[in-house]
Structure 1
Amino acid sequence: MTVQPQLSQPETAATTDFTFHVAARDGAARTGAISMPRGVIRTPAFMPVGTAATVKGMYPEQVRALGADVVLGNTYHLMLRPGAERVARLGGLHKFMNWPHPILTDSGGFQVMSLSQLRKLTEEGVTFRSHIDGSKHVLSPERSVEIQNLLGSDIVMQLDECVALPCEDKVAEKAMRLSLRWAERCKTAFGNHPGRALFGIVQGGAVPHLRVESARELAAMDLKGYAVGGLAVGEPQEIMLAMIETVEPHLPQEKPRYLMGVGTPDDIIQSVARGIDMFDCVMPTRAGRHGQIFTRFGRMNLKNAKFAEDTRPVDEQSSCPAANGWSRAYLHHLVKAEEMLGKMLLTSVNLAYYQDLMAGLRAAIAQGRLADFIAETREGWERGEPA
């Protein structure tokens, strides 16, 4: 059985070029739409992560039906397997994974720093060995853009150096300046591609003046959009939010803003309130594969024995059939038995919750009641289920 809840899809028409329109504001928060030839991304938007050309445990049509306008693919993983040139020969990433809608590709920089073996960083780029088979590769700003162009991604990310936090100020500064130089090289390599976009990435660790300098320098490059990178890497939420507040005034108001790798539902709503338009995170899919689900009552662990004879659905008000069509007892059984269907259904529950949350945020901003929506949402998590 294919799980396909029918959520509304974008009403705004696709365009021949990449455009961003802000329809309403509530404080620093905005709601609007990114339009491009392959479709429209309603903002604020959550992008399910399809690292290796698949959102794990989900059919593409399920991901779409749950409300996703765009998914994320990863340059590092796809360059290693099956290879960007092969994907290009097979018709590009959209055809390869049967997703005809917008795709954003990460540059691969974060994965090189975190996964690869024996890496060496120079001005030219990063030389590293594959975590799969030990083969040697070089990823430069130009090669990162070339790979993303071969994949055919709609939104291309610049190659940057992402450092773990906390770190010394001089380490953050060195990485930020290198990332700026790489951004210039990525811009040159990307050239002019109507309908597609190159995004720059703000770096600077947890140092406000470095973040401001990075944002201003990138804004001067007049790119199509801007990401805030180097956060959600171990720092407390208050530092992440402080860095967003520091950067936001220095990014162009008419360009979309993307907070990379974030995050929890609370991270998302707090960041939307501070002017962020786009998010991605493996959390909803990874948690689903491990028996964890996100609901309007808060987070639930279906491994717990208390669910073994619970005949209630996860949430009868959810838009997702996986949340309202099976008992918690059955889902608990699937998780304990390590059945594949359990991973699939719980992933569906989580992606539906995230997309419902984004739809709620968009509506609240349009109605000028974002603060009330955030308060009500957090109260629901804290209150938990009714007795």
Structure 2
Amino acid sequence: MNAPSPSDVSATGNDSQITRFRLSDQYQQLKNNFHRYLIQQIEERNLEFDRWDAQQIERFVGEQMRRYVVEQRLPVNQREAETLARDTKDELMGFGPIQSLVDDDGINDILVNGPNVVFIERAGRLSQAPVRFLNNQHVIRVIQRILAPIGRRIDESNPMVDARLPDGSRVNAVVPPIALDGPSISIRKFRKSALTAEDLIRFGTVTEACLEYLKMRIRNRTNTIVVGGTGSGKTTFLNLLSQYIPGDERILTVEDAAELRLNHEHVVRLETRPPNLEGENAVTARDLVRNALRMRPDRVIVGEVRGDEVLDMLQAMNTGHDGSMTTIHANSTHDAIARLELLAGFAGYNGSEQAFKAQVASAVQMLVQVSRLKGGERRVMSVTNVRGLQGNSLVLEDVFHYDVERGVLIDLRAQK
């Protein structure tokens, strides 16, 4: 590769020029070449790189960067060289171009749409990130690095995979041939510190009066479902509600990817397992819910009901495990009831519609709907009690309701 010209890589010191430098094809190739140079140095010197701590690696990369610039006579200034060293260090010990995004606590989602386009969500708003990959293979290498610790694989015969980062963040990856524009990575970040009630009140997600009501209901062992669409904050709110469970109760959690963080001493966390390469030995959410019921739980918390585990979850709520909780993907409380019925049908339930609704009325006592508004704000839209069955319909009664026009959560108890 020819060294980039001064006009290509020279920077005046401002962030916009550094960003253009990092996004250029010349920079991507330069970083790739320097990465290969570092690997060669490590192998030739037989260095025990795996045993080094972060400071040793950073010092080594910096020293080699200065040497490489001199040897190759690269027309880069100090800030550009530092950027190159930092990004290459992320290639060696992290997730390449997206490592800085993973480390940024203010980012909620990282969305890689092929090698050249990366979006992030910050405070509910999407924007393009100033990073990119060299090519499709570069993206796939990062995906494989994410999957390596958990023994998963991705290739043309298995082009979709769910995984998680060491901090618990959820990862979904899709590669060609089903990803037409190049490999895609979707990361839902896992907060290092869970949001507190004070945080949600400050953000305007919920009012203090509503939280006091929910705290009372959870402590009184109310079976609860948190309802919401994608990215609405269902898991965050479920995690908050779980903090109101008395500390002397035994809790069993069932999740596809462990996200709940309960500050209780008596918690057993269970996580599903996908099938192996032969398509065998999968452990489903339904398997775990059934097993959880044999483990003497006071409450069962299912991260999200999305399949045939719905029947076992309702059974848990109906058979002495009062105060159990879960979430469900739906845009309203009425849609949530319809989705429960649909999932039960998929699970093989062949009773009448009225019999199933009677079971729901007996099992579920409260629905909490959360939503992400157009501006990115997350709000509690309603707190709804399930009053029972009237004819062939469930009787739902709102206790709190969000007035979109006024932008306030109304306490309907005061109006009765």
TM-score, length of structure 1 as denominator length: 0.26
* TM-score, with structure 2 as normaliser: 0.24
Where relative contact order (Cα < 8 A, 6+ residues apart) is larger, the structure is 1
Larger Rg: 2
